[in-house]
Chain A
């Protein structure tokens, strides 16, 4: 029944407080077994390790909100990184230009998928699955399967440098998330996106252009995957053709853990940041606990399920007399 809509609790829940609680729970749980999790240096480390998934997750949040899905981010990341590295090394482009080429590669890939969805009527799952395959193939063609290394060292900077104690890549992720939050909550674009994901018919009747929005959303996702590709090259000091395989699932999991619906309309950027950090802390903490990597995988699975159950419980799904629209 109608709660006091200005109450702090209500606002928190609207803004994805569930995922923040989840983040706290995961961190505290890990810290209980391994206090090292809470050390400042370790936290900075988590932020650095989360940056790549995080940058992609920002883009994915847009895509999911609009009612789509982007399975291609892992492959696009690899392709963009390889194209960037190649244009730096082989074409000899100056580093900033090579970065731009990488980002642009991502944009083009994203907009190709977007165009298939928007104008071709291809379901997002299939359009981006096709991009997943062909971007990976193109990467392998370009690199002939070998890593590209020995670039001008400044190309790597965004992937590994720090600003004081904080990793540059992590700061890039947080800054992007903030910008995306503004875009989603404070501009017509954000409202239109959520309207499209919630109820496409309403959006159409309101005179919104679904194709243009769709194109923009996949373009953003692709561009950010391109940026993540640059970060990845910087972290590995080389462009690896097989990097980012399966990354899309981590990205989607992070966004959904952050409270964004897989079916569009519902969610936001605050939750995504929390979701990304949950994933980061999980990986980091389980590694610090020195569990075998097999056990790590299983524990991760359990925690995913637990997180979704917890979120549903917080939303009152299991309360007595639940209604059909719970």
Chain B
């Protein structure tokens, strides 16, 4: 045995006779960070869920320190020293931090009463070890994404986990927070913790992982030290072909015309202060900044999801009064929500029903004459034609147009969400984190759609925490900090360093990253 802290051999897994994993080997040493990459549907999450006791392998074995082990439940995996931090955090939002840290293994006194003080003290110690000052009695609902992640890690430490599995931990973090997380991961590693790190962000894999394991369509592709692999090689091994160019060429907007959207002195108490910007027809305007800087709030205010206390919004020169989202939609503004599962799509609805959800009024054949009236019957065949149009346009891979969205991969769900936003034929599209949690090739397609859309004259706002995306896709980038616009970057000043500088206000941090 070569210091085999953990080994998975010949793992196969089928769901109702559809194989999703075929003969996967994985080995991990103590104090090692292993990156696992692959496109959506490659089987990364399933493999990790097997390790975490959520799924059972159809065949194959897991060995821990040479001993064959079998995790039938998450609790068994946990007592085997494995802690899984899923992408959507597993925290009970209405309970306190310490309740969550000890959930399922509460400390209690002889009478079965909770030892609240002991749990709070232990939680405070763990959080201090992680270098954070979150209060153990804070409710989860009041924490930021980065803080929730720390609570998850504290939970793992409380159970004395020896292996931490992190599924896309950085999608909800800003670059600054990512650096903090990486520092923490290196410290844990020095203490002998092994970490499996799943991500779509190859740069991060390169930065933090010792080795990388690549999966494609449920099969093992290769496993190598990260030092021996370039980003390009990782990407092409993942996709199985050369990725020519991720970003489509930028076409120039037409800034001489009346701005498609102009926002003047927009303020929302406690969230936004004096936000002003304008957007030319066919322009792609990026919004960068840390999570919580107010980017999503700008989008929500434009869409009428929040009330502005001050300021005005002009659409092609005419003032726009939005009190409800439907006002914005009617005026030609469409929103692609950052929270796909939560508010972007209806997972229980079919592809067709999702695509026409917002524009449903235009599919009504009115009984009273005229169109767009709700007193009428839906023209089902026209709905289907629309849906199949988007399926072809966006290359949506779905078993059928009647398939419920829960059966589609994240990337395809996002394309449906995009189709839904476009079916109202907007003049302005506000896309909030349009590529969060989707794989490289789906990302590339999303970029092409946005570029094509801009080419056709639609103005796009792209809110993103991925700086490459802002640089590669946008003509100009607005960087926000603390609810204000910290700077607008274009041309030669549009660089990662400048975005970081404006987002944090600290030039050193940008360089260290």
Q: How far is the CA of A195 from the CA of B108 in the complex (A)?
A: 17
Q: Chain B, 343-361, contact with A by CB distance < 8 Å: what is the 0/1 string? A: 1000000000000000000
B94 touches A265 (CB 8 A): yes
> When the two chains form their complex, are residues A198 and B92 in contact, meaning their CB atoms are under 8 A apart?
yes
- A204-B74, A320-B307, A324-B343 as given contacts; A186 in contact with B90, CB under 8 Å: no
B99 at the interface (CB under 8 A from A): yes
**Chain A stretch 163-209: residues in CB contact (< 8 A) with chain B:** 182, 186-188, 191-192, 194-195, 198-199, 201-208
- Give the distance in Å from the alpha carbon of A272 to the alpha carbon of B137 in the complex: 24
Taken together as a complex, chains A and B put the C-alpha atoms of A166 and B139 apart, in Å, by: 39
B241 at interface by CB-CB < 8 Å:
no
Give the contacting residue for B54; candidates A205, A265, A321; CB below 8 A: A205
Residues of chain B lying within 8 A (CB to CB) of residue A292: none
B306 touching A322, Cβ below 8 Å: yes
- Contact A266/B94 with A206-B103, A321-B309 known, Cβ cut-off 8 Å: yes
The complex places the Cα of A55 from the Cα of B95 at a distance, in Å, of: 26
Which of B90, B99, B268, B306 has a CB less than 8 Å from the CB of A205?
B90
User: In angstroms, how far is the closest chain A Cβ from the Cβ of B153?
Assistant: 15
CB pair A198 B99 closer than 8 Å = no
Most-contacted residue by chain B among A187, A199, A206, A322 (CB, 10 A): A206
Interface 0/1 of A199-225, CB less than 8 Å to B: 101111111100000000000000000
Residue of chain A at shortest CB distance from B107: A188
Chain B nearest CB, measured from A290 CB (Å): 43
Query: B232: CB under 8 A from chain A?
Result: no
Given A188-B108, A192-B104: A206 in contact with B74 (beta carbons within 8 A): yes
Instruction: Give the shortest distance, in Å, between A11 (CB) and chain B (any CB).
Output: 11
Check A153 for interface membership: any CB of B closer than 8 A: no
- A207 partner residues in chain B, CB cutoff 8 A: 73-75, 78, 104-105
Beta-carbon nearest neighbor of B93 in chain A: A198
Q: How far is the CB of B109 from chain A (nearest CB, A)?
A: 10
- Asked if B138 is at the interface (CB within 8 A of a chain A CB), the reply is yes
Q: How far apart are the CA atoms of A1 and B86 in the complex, in Å?
A: 27
Within 8 A of A (CB), among B284-317: 300, 305-309
Contact of B104 among A182, A186, A187, A206 (CB under 8 A): A206
User: Does B511 count as interface, using CB distance less than 8 angstroms?
Assistant: no
Tell me the minimal C-beta distance from B338 to chain A in angstroms.
Answer: 12
B159 CB to nearest chain A CB (Å): 10
Contacts of A206 in B (CB 8 A): 74-75, 90, 103-104
Report B102-122 CB contacts with A as 1/0, cut-off 8 Å: 011110100011101000000
Which B residues from 56 to 98 make CB contacts under 8 A with A?
A: 73-75, 78, 84, 86, 90-95
> Contact: A203 with B307, CB < 8 Å?
no
**How many residues from A make CB contacts under 8 Å with B?**
28
Residues of A close to B378: CB separation below 8 A? none
Consensus secondary structure, chain B interface: loop
The total of interchain contacts (Cβ-Cβ below 8 angstroms) comes to 89
A321 to B270, CA, bound (A): 10
**Residue of A191, A199, A321 touching B269 (CB-CB under 8 A):** A321
Closest to A185 in B: B114
In the complex the two chains form, is A186's CB within 8 Å of B74's CB? Answer: no
B271 within 8 A of A: yes
In the bound complex, what is the Cα–Cα distance between A2 and B141 (angstroms)? 10
User: Do the beta carbons of A202 and B106 come within 8 Å of each other?
Assistant: no
B463 vs chain A, min Cβ distance (A): 16
User: Within the complex, which residue of B103, B308, B309 is in contact with A191, where a contact is CB–CB below 8 Å?
Assistant: B103
| Given A194-B92, A207-B104, residue A187 in contact with residue B306 (CB < 8 A) | no
Minimal beta-carbon separation of B323 from chain A (angstroms): 12
Q: Does A39 contact B (CB under 8 A)?
A: no
Whether the pair B95, A188 counts as a contact (CB closer than 8 A) is: no
Give the chain A neighbours of B343 by CB distance below 8 A. Answer: 324
- Quick one: given A5-B138, A186-B114, A187-B114, are A199 and B78 in contact (CB under 8 Å)? no
Asked whether, in the complex, the Cβ of A321 is within 8 Å of the Cβ of B268, the reply is yes
Tell me the complex Cα distance, A194–B54, Å. Answer: 22
Bound-complex Cα distance A85 to B477 (A): 78
A323 at the interface (CB under 8 A from B): yes
- Nearest A residue to B89 via CB reads A202
Nearest A-chain residue to B104, judged by Cβ: A206
Cα(A201)–Cα(B54), bound, Å = 11
Q: Verify A198–B54 contact, CB threshold 8 A.
A: no
Contact in complex: B103, A195 (CB < 8 Å): yes
Which chain A residues (221-242) contact chain B, with CB distance < 8 Å?
none
Interface string of A117-141 (1 = CB under 8 A from B): 0000000000000000000000000
The 0/1 profile, CB within 8 Å of A marked 1, for residues 144-186 of chain B is 0000000000000000000000000000000000000000000
- Please give, as numbers and ranges, the residues of chain A lying within 8 Å of B73 by CB-CB distance: 207
Q: In the assembled complex, how far is the CB of residue B494 from the closest CB belonging to chain A, in whole angstroms? A: 31
Q: Which residues of B contact A187 (CB under 8 A)?
A: 108, 112-114
Chain B: minimal CB distance from A199 (Å): 5
Establish whether residues A188 and B142, one from each chain, have CB atoms under 8 Å apart when the complex forms. no
Q: With a CB–CB cut-off of 8 A, which chain B residues contact A191?
A: 95, 99, 103, 106, 114
Q: Which 5 A-B pairs have the closest CB atoms?
A: A207-B75, A206-B104, A188-B106, A206-B103, A202-B90
11 pairs, A vs B, C-beta closer than 8 Å: A5-B137, A188-B112, A195-B92, A195-B99, A198-B93, A199-B92, A206-B90, A320-B269, A320-B309, A321-B306, A324-B300
B interface with A by C-beta (< 8 Å): 52, 54, 73-75, 78, 84, 86, 90-95, 99, 103-106, 108, 112-114, 116, 135, 137-139, 142, 268-271, 300, 305-309, 343
Seen from chain A, the residues whose Cβ lies within 8 Å of a Cβ on chain B are: 1-2, 5, 182, 186-188, 191-192, 194-195, 198-199, 201-208, 265-266, 320-324
